[in-house]
């Protein structure tokens, strides 16, 4: 969900909260386009790039795909552009997402996907070679430290995790925890949920505490990525 943030006022009381099956995210995925925004209770508005998510992998995505090895788990797969491309390339791949529409759309494009939270039991735990947190998904759950620990449980002992962090034009030290909701700026908005925004420096700090070591970092098309390698923390896994 990397994009520039514009500070805006929260919507006036009386806006209409949609059902899960007709919320702004579901509607946007069905249409394959926005507008769709992530709006925080602190007042900022983040535009979400639904059109890119629903398209074929772009140049930046291709750099991620090229770094994927073995079996790949895409956490928060959305409409499935990456997991579908991985399956086409011959990887054993799985996408997970909490959105029924995201899972349906992924399946329609030929990508295997389950409606599942990353914090629930998952197939192949401890055996995934590569895991992905792309499109801002390091923010899932609003607790990057807990998410990175969970990712260490999911991947194999020598596995890797590819994370998309904030773009280069944003402060490297951002470490923000907020309550947000999805908003189409047409009077419909989703349920409030916790989210995080994390620059590369705090990402590396939290990653080290969870047993991850940075092994690669790159920027492409205004997007920034870090590959983390799982190290031995001495704990039972």
pLDDT in tens, 142-165: 999 999 999 999 999 999 999 999
> In the chain, where does DSSP find H-type helix?
24-31, 50-53, 59-66, 81-88, 100-108, 144-154, 200-209
- Please give the pLDDT value at position 42: 84
- Mean pLDDT of all residues in the chain? 89
What is the spatial distance between Cα 4 and Cα 233, in angstroms, rounded to a whole number?
36
**HSE on the CB side for 215, CA within 13 Å?**
14
More confidently predicted of 186 and 209: 209
Find the Cα–Cα–Cα–Cα dihedral 105, 111, 112, 118, rounded to 10°: -70
Task: Tell me the pLDDT band of 232, cut-offs 50, 70 and 90.
Answer: low
- Please give the pLDDT value at position 237: 44
List the domains of the chain with CATH numbers: 6-230 (3.40.50.150)
Angle, nearest 10°, between helix axes 200-209 and 144-154?
50
pTM of this structure: 0.89
Question: How far, in whole angstroms, is CA 9 from its chain's centroid?
Answer: 26
Task: Tell me the pLDDT band of 185, cut-offs 50, 70 and 90.
Answer: confident
* CA-closest candidate to residue 87, choices 57, 116, 112, 63: 112
pLDDT tens track for 73-119: 999 999 999 999 999 999 999 999 999 999 999 999 999 999 999 99
């Amino acid at each position: 969900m990397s994009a520039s943030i514009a500070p805006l006022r929260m919507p006036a009381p009386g806006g209409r909260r949609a059902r899960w099956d007709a919320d702004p995210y579901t509607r946007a995925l069905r249409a394959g386009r926005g507008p769709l925004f992530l709006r925080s209770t602190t007042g900022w508005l983040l535009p979400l790039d639904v059109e890119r998510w629903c398209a074929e992998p772009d140049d930046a995505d291709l750099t991620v795909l090229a770094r994927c090895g073995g079996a790949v788990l895409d956490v928060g797969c959305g409409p499935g552009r990456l997991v579908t491309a991985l399956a086409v390339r011959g990887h054993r791949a799985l996408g997970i997402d909490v959105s029924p529409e995201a899972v349906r759309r992924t399946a329609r494009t030929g990508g295997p996907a389950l409606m599942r939270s990353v914090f629930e039991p998952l197939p192949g735990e401890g055996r995934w070679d590569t895991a992905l947190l792309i499109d801002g998904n390091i923010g899932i759950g609003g607790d990057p430290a807990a998410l990175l620990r969970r990712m260490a449980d999911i991947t194999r002992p020598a596995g890797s995790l590819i994370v998309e962090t904030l773009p280069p034009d944003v402060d490297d030290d951002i470490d923000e925890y907020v309550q947000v909701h999805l908003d189409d700026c047409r009077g419909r908005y989703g349920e409030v949920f916790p989210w995080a925004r994390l620059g590369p420096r705090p990402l590396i700090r939290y990653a080290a505490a969870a047993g991850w070591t940075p092994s690669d970092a790159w920027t492409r098309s205004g997007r920034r990525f870090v590959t983390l390698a799982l190290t031995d923390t001495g704990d039972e896994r």
